[in-house]
Structure formats: structure tokens, C-alpha cells
Amino acid sequence: MPQQQISLPAKLINGGIAGIVGVTCVFPIDLAKTRLQNQRPGQQVYKNMVDCLIKTVRSEGYFGMYRGAAVNLTLVTPEKAIKLAANDFFRQHLNKDGKGLTVFKEMLAGCGAGMCQVVITTPMEMLKIQLQDAGRLVAQQRVPVVMSPTKLVATNTMLSRSYNVVPAPRAVSAIAIARELFQTQGIQGLYKGLGATILRDVPFSMVYFPLFANLNRLGKPSIDESSPFYWAFLSGCVAGSTAAIAVNPVDVVKTRLQSMNKAANEETYNSVADCVRKIMRTEGPSAFMKGAGCRALVIAPLFGIAQVMYFVGVGEYILDNYSPMRVLSP
């Protein structure tokens, strides 16, 4: 049987649409994950995910849960598109003989996809984390601090005792943060935490893609038929949540390294090794699983939706219906 060629533009469209839909659905949980991961012992503002979301809505309004979403919605299209299309490309390249892929080759394809996506993922998460964590920093302040693009701290820092909420952080745009980083640190400022991002995303892809491929294969009625869309969704959810929990310790390290602004008494980190050592010494091994539940809840539907959109073939449908050949034909 001749090997089916992938349509790169179609895969890019599929990945982009999937990323936008997924981020819109699960971004508030991702915000809670970032804030929980950055909490230190003795300075806990949020007890758990639900408590974090409730306090965020009370103090920052409904759209406070989407603080930093604009960055993700802008960059998640190329990020998810690159990730999914790259995995397809590497799988096809490794399966030139048409004999199918071993688990090792599937892991290699996932590794390649993870390496490709960090070009977009690192600056995207660098900017997103500053915006997401601003509310937590405000909650831990007790004296007025002047706001600037690199100090995401609000001037009103008194907690509301009657409602047990924190004041909303003053709005700062991702563009202002990016401009400040670029002017003060150059392009490397936007790529702070690149090593940790690679250490997270490459293993994630090496776990996720082979696991998804094998789970999805179980739902095929026959070799020549595709799995139903609900099976692709469930496979994406299971594979995504499993991979997310597996790499959560590195995600905690990445979040800490990429957080530019620290509350009083919070440690700074010079490298991945330094971060791991200090977290282990001051917070213990359990700190590396902070936000694991939130991350699983984010990744599961995100990749479930992604795989449904990807395998339904929305991109192929759009290109087929709006191609020049079709428009010009009678």
C-alpha cells in the first residue's frame, strides 16, 4: 500500500484551530497551576485550584482567570501546529519502508516534535507566566509598590478581610513585558528557561505521541479504518494527562525559573540544577508535584480536542473548498 503523504498546510491549520479551541476552554486551570506552583511554604495565598479560581474571580473579575490568555491565543497556533505537524513529518520520515513504527521510532518522532516546538513555547510561556502570576504577587504584598513592566505588582496591596480576597493587579501588556526584556536582556531574555522547557517538552512528546498512537490504534474497527472521533478524544486525554503528570517536576522548575518577579523572601534561581537543589532543600520532594492535578486537567482536554480537530481534518476541508483550482472551476 503506498504511503499517504501529509499535507503540511492542512496540518498547520488543524493544529492552530485545535490550540485556540483548547486554550479557550482550559486557560483558567492553567492560571491556577502557575500560581500554585509558584507558592512557597508559609506564603500560601491559595489552598487549591478551586480556592485559587474563586479568589481570582472575586479580586480580579471573571476575565482575571484569562490573564495572559492573549499571549497563548496568539502563539498557540504556531506552537501546536509545529508540534503536531513535526510529529507527523518525523513519523513519515521514519516509516519510509512502510513497515510501521516501533515504539522507539515513535519516541524519536516525539522527541523531534518537542525540539521543534520550544522555539515558540519558551517565549510564549515566559510572557504568559509573568501575567498569570501577577495576582499572586499582589496578594503577598503588604506595602505599596510602584508598578513597572518588569515589576508586576500593584500599588493597592491590602487584602479584603470581609471577603477574603486580594486586590486585582494592575494591567500590564505582554508587549510591554517583551519590549522591556528585549531592551534589557536582548533576545535571550525571551528565551529564559529554554533548557528547562526542552527538558519538559521533549520527554512529554516522547511519552505522549507513542502512547496516543497505541491507545488510538485500539479503537480502530479494522486496520484500514480510522478510530471514531470520541476514541481519538479519549486517547488524547489519557495520553496527555499521563505525560503531563510524568513531566510535572520539570514544569515546576521551568515555572520558577521563568518567573521574573519574586515576592519578599522568595529565592531566586540561577539554573535548572540550582532550582532543583533549592526546592529540594527548602520544600522537599513533594514540591515538584505542585499543580500536577491542574496540569493534568489542562493537558487532557487540550490534547483531546487537538486530536479530534486534527483527525477530523478541518484543515484539509478548508484547503479543498477554498483552493484556487476549486474557486476557478465551473
Q: What is the pLDDT of residue 31?
A: 93
Instruction: Give 199-228 pLDDT, tens digit per residue.
Output: 999 999 999 999 998 999 898 877 777 778
Regarding predicted confidence, which is higher, 229 or 322? Answer: 229
Q: What is the pLDDT of residue 239?
A: 94
Q: What is the pLDDT of residue 137?
A: 80
Q: What is the pLDDT of residue 153?
A: 42
Q: What is the pLDDT of residue 253?
A: 96
DSSP for 106-138? HHHHHHHHHHHHHHHHHHHHHHHHHHHTHHHHH
- Give the SS3 label for residue 222: coil
Q: What is the pLDDT of residue 5?
A: 52
Please, are residues 44 and 146 in contact by the beta-carbon 8 Å criterion?
Answer: no
Cβ atoms < 10 Å from Cβ of 147: 16
Distance of CA 180 to the CA centre of its chain: 23
Instruction: Give 249-301 pLDDT, tens digit per residue.
Output: 999 999 999 998 887 778 889 999 999 999 999 999 999 999 999 999 999 98
How far apart are alpha carbons 87 and 38 in whole angstroms?
Answer: 31
CATH number, domain 8-24+68-135+184-328: 1.50.40.10
How far apart are alpha carbons 36 and 176 in whole angstroms?
Answer: 25
- Rounded to an integer, the average pLDDT of 301-308 is 82
Instruction: Give 124-182 pLDDT, tens digit per residue.
Output: 999 999 999 888 887 766 434 344 444 444 333 333 333 344 455 555 788 888 999 88
Q: Whole-model pTM?
A: 0.81
Cell triple for residue 155? 500599588
At residue 96, φ and ψ (nearest 5 deg) are -65, -30
Q: Is the dihedral of CA 305, 307, 311, 317 positive or negative?
A: positive
- Per mean pLDDT, which of 61-75, 83-97, 231-245 is the most reliable? 231-245
Q: What is the pLDDT of residue 7?
A: 66
Distance of CA 42 to the CA centre of its chain: 28
Q: What is the pLDDT of residue 316?
A: 75
Task: Provide the mean pLDDT of the chain.
Answer: 82
Q: What is the pLDDT of residue 322?
A: 58
Regarding predicted confidence, which is higher, 11 or 87? Answer: 87
Instruction: Give 164-179 pLDDT, tens digit per residue.
Output: 444 555 557 888 889 9
- Rounded to an integer, the average pLDDT of 44-71 is 91
- Give one word for 186, left, alpha or beta, with left for phi > 0 and alpha for psi -120 to 50: left
- Give one word for 42, left, alpha or beta, with left for phi > 0 and alpha for psi -120 to 50: left
148 bridge partner residues? 151
User: From residue 148, how far is each of 86, 124, 138, 158, 173 by CA, in Å?
Assistant: 38, 20, 13, 19, 11
Instruction: Give 78-90 pLDDT, tens digit per residue.
Output: 887 788 788 888 9
Q: What is the pLDDT of residue 327?
A: 35
Q: Is the dihedral of CA 67, 68, 69, 74 positive or negative?
A: positive
- Which residue, among 6, 12, 15, 9, has the nearest Cα to 92 in the 3D structure? 6
The beta-carbon contacts of 165-170 under 8 Å, at least 24 apart in sequence, are: 165/55, 165/58, 165/59, 166/45, 166/55, 166/59, 166/135, 166/138, 166/139, 167/59, 167/138, 168/59, 168/60, 168/61, 168/64, 168/135, 168/138, 169/60, 169/67, 169/134, 169/135, 169/137, 169/138
- Rounded to an integer, the average pLDDT of 6-16 is 72
Q: What is the pLDDT of residue 265?
A: 77
